[in-house]
Structure 1
């Protein structure tokens, strides 16, 4: 039986890439019965008499899976955050990083709209860039208008399946268009009335950029920590996890325990205070989360 990879899901059809051809398929009823739905990014077994009439017979085991947006087998996430309009938020970035780290997806941070940053905001932004680079995160500064920095993304995209993620209005589609103008992805500006971006991407689709596949998605519609346990949160903060290995007590949550190496590192700014504040905030959210039955 032939095999391929789902690169688009739309109106009940799944478009399976097999070599140079794309087969339009439907899912078999057994997936609904087993409560397993095909996702963009899935490797599947299918049968088809012609390119317009195929059926997915089997979904191969996934290495990871995101729910919102619905996509599977992602190698890395390009986290796009605008410098301004909307203003850069380290809290929101850390929230995205935790969700990505928990799914064992490699993150790449991309700060967009650098062409319109006022001089008064540049020093603070540059400090954040230094901080996250020191934590070991790849971080790029870009402009879709001047195309500065956009080509630096290309090496990260080669031979990988990447998802572009970030709040609406930060310029994800504009950035992809700057990398490859032939894409012609629909974009929209910030709503002056609402003060936030308008969603322009309506479905998940993998598109070819160079030798890689990139997902332009409607964005993350949920940023809650529904699957992360309190004991695992520090794993999603590499700077805190590394320092936490020196804690006196095994299983230290780094909030109320005595002789905590993390709290000591915060006092000396070895760990940036805002990172620790975000960690405590997320830890409290997880602790207050209602149990699911």
Structure 2
């Protein structure tokens, strides 16, 4: 039988097969191959004789693998930022987008707390994201406004939420799941808990898809992305990359660069290009990008 691991804890893995969830152990061969099953893995299982429990016999090749949270085969990211309180850091927003692109995720940018801003479409960060071609949703998560639009995008996806602290990710998760999965920021502060609570990622089935029950990307370290890979994490560059005069053009100081031509013609947002150059220069100098 083929299924998806939706939870793993204490060496036990819970595999969703059709409408059933089967508790399984992994075969010893995976330890010998230094392969540990992960939440999100597509697996083959078989029942153990005379029990209603199973064993994991095969793990299918992963399309991607997030480390924190530890989830495989994620297909979609909801990148959540608030329009105010806290204010948007464009550099941080672009880093989240770069990490999602590196993991080949479909991206929906969610701007929360839209009720606190009169004209959200005029904010520079919103314009930058529109220019980059990303889908945008405006939310008022505490009131549940915009949550149904997210639900429509969950079908056939394994979706993770990511974004900085205080923007409403926990509220959105709880609204989508229709129950309290995550402690929200206000409650966490009152209880002085959250940072010291050990959590195990779990997939929750919603609207024909799966939602990861913990916010994603607890680390924004981008050291593992090489300087040559950065350009491919900026999707609005892609249609111009192959038109540059020189093979291996980094779109930096080289002449006859199609990316810079597109920038000068207003086809690429300058803030996005400046972010690319900032990250590229850090790589060239060998600086950390944490």
TM tier relative to shorter chain: 0.7 to 0.9
- Does residue 185 of structure 1 match 2:181? yes
- C-alpha contact 1:174 1:185 (8 A) present in aligned 2: no
Aligned residues: 281
Partner residue of 2:159 out of 157, 162, 168: 162
Partner of 1:65: 65
Partner of 2:19: 20
Under a length normalisation based on structure 2, what TM-score does the superposition of the two structures give?
A: 0.86
Under a length normalisation based on structure 1, what TM-score does the superposition of the two structures give?
A: 0.85
SS of equivalent to 1:262: helix
CA distance in 2 between counterparts of 1:287 and 1:56 reads 44
Partner of 1:91: 91
CA distance in 1 between counterparts of 2:84 and 2:9 reads 33
Partner residue of 1:135 out of 118, 121, 132: 132
Structure 1 residues 224 and 154, CA gap change in structure 2 (3 angstroms) = same
Partner of 2:222: 225
Partner of 1:279: 276
Partner of 1:151: 148
Partner of 1:243: 240
Per-residue deviation, 1:67: 2.1
Deviations 1:18-51 (A, max 9, x none): 1111112222332222111111110112233434
Per-residue deviation, 1:288: 4.3
Deviations 1:50-103 (A, max 9, x none): 34x432222111122222221111221111122223322221121111111122
Per-residue deviation, 1:281: 1.8
Q: CA RMSD in A?
A: 2.7
Partner of 2:209: 212
Deviations 1:131-158 (A, max 9, x none): 3233221111101122222211122111
CA distance in 2 between counterparts of 1:165 and 1:241 reads 24
CA distance in 1 between counterparts of 2:181 and 2:97 reads 26
Per-residue deviation, 1:230: 1.7
Per-residue deviation, 1:179: 3.2
Q: Unmatched 5+ residue regions in structure 1?
A: none
Structure 1 residues 212 and 81, CA gap change in structure 2 (3 angstroms) = same
CA distance in 2 between counterparts of 1:159 and 1:41 reads 13
- C-alpha contact 2:160 2:211 (8 A) present in aligned 1: yes
Partner of 2:170: 173
Structure 1 residues 192 and 214, CA gap change in structure 2 (3 angstroms) = closer
Structure 1 residues 190 and 237, CA gap change in structure 2 (3 angstroms) = farther
